[in-house]
Amino acid sequence: MSTIPRDKLPESTLALFRDGYEFIGKRCKRLGSDVFQTRLMLQKTVCMRGPEAAQVFYDQRYFQRKGGAPLRLRKTLFGQGGVQGMDGEAHRHRKAMFMSLMSSESIARLVRLMSDEWRAALPGWAEKGRVVLLDAARDILCRAVCAWTGVPLKESEVRKRTQDFAAMIEDSGAIGPRHWKGRLSRKRAEGWIGGVIEAVRAGRLNPPEGSALRTVAFHRELDGELLKTRIAAVELINVLRPTVAVARFITFAALALYEYPDWRRRLARQKDRELELFVQEVRRFYPFFPFVAARVSKPFDWQGYHFPEGARALLDLYGTDHDPRAWDDPETFRPERFLTWDGSPFNFISQGGGDHYENHRCPGEWITIELMKEAVRLLVMSMDYIVPQQDLTVSMTRMPTMPQSGFVIADVRPRE
Ligand code: HEM
């Protein structure tokens, strides 16, 4: 058994910030291996990429999530005590709570709410002249997801709440003052949503049966107890925050419509199958979350290498979605590739891999796909707009990234 190849630097944190999404891929290429070890933020870390690595990373005999994610991410992006850091039976039980919200009828209701908000916003966009699509889509999604979950949202609050949800993601990978801004946003949101959970439990608020608010407020743990208020808030925010974040993928979809006008024309012919191919390719092609983290729970050997107990492991999501062994010509935007995709749970992992119920794979994947499809329908069929001169560069070192300008559209005209 050999030891895992080592990155040449004793500590790679600066290199991670320099190489961004390409940090793991570049080193795997250089070392000729799907796995290498390094030190990140002073911790021994094993980096992995590719479908085979993803398969072993999601094997619960060898990896656990407890203690996997760095504290700075738990303080901003995830919150503490939520489903992301759980393992085994307790994780499956908590995950089932999220999965119970994902029926196709329920998702269709969320899509309708988003669509109605979008149509209602169109006249305002027409009047404004210029609209930053990323911000506008976040606003729409915040309104829609609050209505869908049953969380009351006053008009005067929309802006602040939307900004807080955005900051938890935006600032999660940052250091210094931006990191602290992300932490403050989380604190504010947990306070707000904690109050809403308590109002439901005290009978002052009566959200509909099956709504996320009601489900989380009355969810019982394996020991029969209700979730602590703060943890219930973390879990409801685990629905609200990422739904607002779908705005990023919607922005990338708008960028793709602009960069690949043939696809815009094809999609105008209203073929639902093509819409699905397009949206899947947007999720594969454009960068969102770079990695996921876990910890080796039991020493094991894989591909001739020994994985030591306790090591932190990072799985390269972006690099796996761009792995030339799984994807022909991966740096080309080509939605048709999804006509022949094998449906593997380990090669297309923008939202995690494995099984939605058993593993940590994102429970919001179908929500994301359906919201993106509706947004593309709206962009192609319900409005005209121009894309003025702007900086559309997508930085590969800012994580998570987006087009620099946030994608400005102008001269918006709603279609009848
Ligand atoms: C987990 C990405 C949308 C709720 C994850 C993971 C990723 C991800 C990478 C981690 C997978 C892992 O740890 O193995 C995304 C992206 C989205 C998105 C890029 C697009 C905006 C959503 C939506 C929801 C959601 C719409 C909720 C309705 C969650 C939850 C988890 C999760 C609760 C934790 C699951 C667990 O630990 O078992 N997501 N997600 N996400 N996502 Fe999403």
251 lines ligand 1 (CB under 6 A): no
When mean pLDDT is compared across 33-42, 148-157, 179-188, the lowest value belongs to 179-188
Q: Write down the pLDDT at residue 2.
A: 81
Q: Write down the pLDDT at residue 51.
A: 98
82 lines ligand 1 (CB under 6 A): no
172 lines ligand 1 (CB under 6 A): no
Task: Check whether 352 has a pLDDT greater than 80.
Answer: yes
Select from 362, 366, 369, 399 the residue to mutate for testing ligand 1; criterion: most ligand atoms less than 8 Å from CB: 362
Interval 81-123: pLDDT, tens: 999 999 999 999 999 999 999 999 999 999 999 999 999 999 9
Domain count, the chain: 1
> How many other β-carbons are positioned within 10 Å of the β-carbon of residue 362?
18
Q: Write down the pLDDT at residue 139.
A: 98
For the chain, give the mean pLDDT: 95
Task: Check whether 285 has a pLDDT greater than 90.
Answer: yes
User: If you take atom 5 of ligand 1, which residue's CA is the nearest one?
Assistant: 362
* Residue 264 CA to ligand 1 centre (angstroms): 28
Cβ atoms of 151 and 213 within 8 Å: the answer is: yes
Residue from 24, 18, 60, 13 nearest 321 by CA: 24
Q: Is 415 a member of any domain?
A: no
Task: Check whether 9 has a pLDDT greater than 90.
Answer: no
* Residue 313 CA to ligand 1 centre (angstroms): 18
Q: Write down the pLDDT at residue 10.
A: 82
Q: How far apart are the C-alpha atoms of 81 and 228, rounded to whole Å?
A: 10
Find the mean pLDDT for residues 9-20: 91
User: If you take atom 11 of ligand 1, which residue's CA is the nearest one?
Assistant: 352
Q: Write down the pLDDT at residue 151.
A: 98
Half-sphere exposure of 272 (CA within 13 A, CB side): 3
Residue from 13, 9, 36 nearest 24 by CA: 36
Q: Which residues of 211-241 are buried (b: 16+ CB within 10 A; e: fewer)?
A: bbbbbbbebeeeeeeebebbbbbbbbbbbbb
Please give the DSSP secondary-structure letter assigned to residue 327: S
Q: Write down the pLDDT at residue 75.
A: 77
Task: Check whether 43 has a pLDDT greater than 80.
Answer: yes
Interval 156-168: pLDDT, tens: 999 999 999 999 9
Q: For residue 370, what is the domain's CATH number? A: 1.10.630.10
Q: Is 416 a member of any domain?
A: no
User: If you take atom 36 of ligand 1, which residue's CA is the nearest one?
Assistant: 360
Which atom of ligand 1 is nearest to 83's Cα? 37
Half-sphere exposure of 318 (CA within 13 A, CB side): 20
Q: How far apart are the C-alpha atoms of 197 and 203, rounded to whole Å?
A: 10
User: If you take atom 37 of ligand 1, which residue's CA is the nearest one?
Assistant: 84
Q: Is 177 a member of any domain?
A: yes
Q: Is 409 a member of any domain?
A: no
Q: For a pLDDT cut of 70, what percent of the chain falls above it?
A: 100
Q: How confident is the model at residue 20 (pLDDT cuts 50, 70, 90)?
A: very high
Give CA 34 to chain center in angstroms.
Answer: 24
Q: Is 225 a member of any domain?
A: yes
Q: Is 411 a member of any domain?
A: no
Cβ atoms of 286 and 313 within 8 Å: the answer is: no
Q: Write down the pLDDT at residue 170.
A: 84
149 lines ligand 1 (CB under 6 A): no
* Residue 45 CA to ligand 1 centre (angstroms): 23
Cβ atoms of 384 and 415 within 8 Å: the answer is: yes
Q: Write down the pLDDT at residue 8.
A: 82
> How many other β-carbons are positioned within 10 Å of the β-carbon of residue 32?
8
Q: Is 2 a member of any domain?
A: no
Q: Write down the pLDDT at residue 85.
A: 95
Q: How far apart are the C-alpha atoms of 296 and 48, rounded to whole Å?
A: 13
Three state DSSP letters for 223-271: CCCECCHHHHHHHHHHHHHHHHHHHHHHHHHHHHHHHCHHHHHHHCCCC
Q: Is 1 a member of any domain?
A: no
Q: How far apart are the C-alpha atoms of 31 and 19, rounded to whole Å?
A: 16
Which atom of ligand 1 is nearest to 367's Cα? 26
Strand order in the sheet with 43-48: 35-40, 43-48, 312-316, 291-296, 63-64
Q: Write down the pLDDT at residue 230.
A: 96
362 lines ligand 1 (CB under 6 A): yes
238 lines ligand 1 (CB under 6 A): yes
289 lines ligand 1 (CB under 6 A): yes
Residue span of the structural domain in which 393 resides: 13-402
Select from 234, 351, 359 the residue to mutate for testing ligand 1; criterion: most ligand atoms less than 8 Å from CB: 351
Task: Check whether 53 has a pLDDT greater than 80.
Answer: yes
68 lines ligand 1 (CB under 6 A): no
* Residue 352 CA to ligand 1 centre (angstroms): 7
Interval 240-250: pLDDT, tens: 999 999 999 99
State the amino acid at position 21 in one-letter form.
Y
Q: Write down the pLDDT at residue 152.
A: 98
348 lines ligand 1 (CB under 6 A): no
Task: Check whether 193 has a pLDDT greater than 90.
Answer: yes
Interval 132-154: pLDDT, tens: 999 999 999 999 999 999 999 99
Q: How far apart are the C-alpha atoms of 374 and 220, rounded to whole Å?
A: 34
Sign of CA dihedral 362, 286, 50, 175: negative
Q: Is the peptide bond before 261 cis (omega within 30 degrees of 0)?
A: no
* Structure ipTM: 0.99
Provide the H-helix boundaries in 34-157.
Answer: 51-57, 71-73, 88-99, 104-128, 133-149
Task: Check whether 272 has a pLDDT greater than 90.
Answer: no
